[in-house]
Structure 1
Amino acid sequence: MTTFPPPEFTWAGVDTPDGRFTVIVDDDGVVYASGWTDDPAYLHNLIAPSLREDPRRDAMRHGDGGDAIAAVESYYAGDLDAPSRIRVRQTSGPFLTAAWSALRRVPPGPPVTYSRLAELAGNPAAVRGAASCCARNAAALFVPCHRVVRIGGALGGFRYGLQVKRSLIDRETSAKAA
């Protein structure tokens, strides 16, 4: 039986109105980590250890980011659904995995609450788990944790700053209202 080595990681970045956005993808264009930073090493550390255990994944190379970077550019050009068409790979326990999947189905527009995300993930009592899903999300924008707020509308937290989160929510809400 022939086995194939796991794909290597490539990183790329693009300037956006919210700052430099960087992605880490594998050879098939699957996103493992992304966010508003120009530091691919920072993003690499967000990837679950089990997904980066092959040493070749520690020596990332620079690339063009392919479809992932194109999706970011499309998002900022008005195609708010573009990131949802890109495959993402994250791993954790059953609830976080379900919550990340549910989060990918939250449409652009007015955000949902952590309570609603817990419901969408199949466990209405897991509000703290929903917050953990957002905090542990390595693939920002592709898994749109910015679309979740506290009850009452307070932004809550965001790894890349509340100014970026507010900008994303405002962009999506205005586009859906138009």
Structure 2
Amino acid sequence: MKEFINVNTEYFRGYMAGYTAATANLEDDSKSGDGFGSDSVFEKVLEEIAGILRDKYNLSFCKAASVINDIKAAKKGYSASYNFQYLTFYEHCIVECNGKQFTGDCSEVSLGGITGVATLYTNDFNKLCSDTLSFLIVSNPSSYLEMCFFDNDINYLGDLRYGLPRTAGVSGCSGSWN
């Protein structure tokens, strides 16, 4: 678990340089209802998450595939608000949903200060709130923000989806609901 929370700064700097170039020309399809604008963008997001889980956190192919399948299976959506506050090499994240508040902290991300409304997907809201210990943010200014919540064993608990954030970034972080 500790390896998941600790961010390898050089990895993410290199990752973002290549990632930003690779996703600069994502197509803008019609709305599909998943918060990303199109199924193809959603599939690209899932591929990025699987790659990060395998490459950075050394999860097996099967474990990463299980996380991706859980994300696809999460059908219950809740209206949520988020606020990411950038404080010089440090990000404080707040998500509010159904009277609960998630707070988390990241280092070395480049989301900047953004606030918005998104959809929080989970199959078990109570488990999401009680078991979350870490989260992963993947963002690209031209297409999406994805924030996945995990328990101690990196089991998927839920994810926040929103299209078109203002900045790009990726990070593994720690946090909890209260």
Higher strand share: 2
Which is bigger in relative contact order (C-alpha 8 A, separation at least 6)? 2
Choose 1 or 2 for highest CA Rg.
Answer: 1
Higher helix share: 1
TM-score calculated relative to the size of structure 1: 0.27
TM-score calculated relative to the size of structure 2: 0.27
